[in-house]
Amino acid sequence: MSKLLSYLYPITKKIQSEFSGILEITWYNGKKHLNTKNANYSYGSLQRILKFGLEKIDLKKVNSILLLGLGGGSVIETLRHDFSYANHITAVDIDPTVIEIAKNEFNLKEDEHLKIICEDALLFMQLNNQQFDLIIIDLFIDVDVPKQFLAIPFWNDILGASATNGTILFNASLDKTKSNALNDVIEFLKSHMYHTEVFEKVNTTNTLVLSKGL
Ligand SMILES: C[S@@+](CC[C@H](N)C(=O)[O-])C[C@H]1O[C@@H](n2cnc3c(N)ncnc32)[C@H](O)[C@@H]1O
Would 10 be classed as within a structural domain?
Answer: no
pLDDT recorded at residue 175: 65
Please state the pTM of the whole predicted model. Answer: 0.95
Would 24 be classed as within a structural domain?
Answer: no
Would 93 be classed as within a structural domain?
Answer: yes
Report how far residue 34's alpha carbon sits from residue 101's, in angstroms, rounded to the nearest whole number.
Answer: 9
Which CATH number is 135's domain given?
3.40.50.150
Ligand 1 atom nearest 67 alpha carbon: 6
Would 149 be classed as within a structural domain?
Answer: yes
pLDDT recorded at residue 148: 96
**What is the DSSP secondary-structure string of 69-115?**
--TT-HHHHIIIIIS---SEEEEEES-HHHHHHHHHTS----BTTEE
Report how far residue 49's alpha carbon sits from residue 170's, in angstroms, rounded to the nearest whole number.
Answer: 11
Is residue 105 exposed (0-12), middle (13-18) or buried (19+ Cβ within 10 Å)? middle
Domain count, the chain: 1
CA of 8 to the centre of ligand 1 (A): 30
Neighbours of 173 (CB within 10 A): 22
pLDDT recorded at residue 28: 83
CA of 76 to the centre of ligand 1 (A): 13
CA of 197 to the centre of ligand 1 (A): 23
Tens-level pLDDT at each residue, the chain (214 residues): 677 666 767 778 999 999 999 999 998 888 899 999 999 999 999 999 999 999 999 999 999 999 999 999 999 999 999 999 999 999 999 999 999 999 999 999 999 999 999 999 999 999 999 999 999 999 999 999 999 999 999 999 999 999 999 999 999 986 656 689 999 999 999 999 999 999 999 988 899 999 999 9
Q: Report helix, strand or coil for 22.
A: strand
pLDDT recorded at residue 10: 72
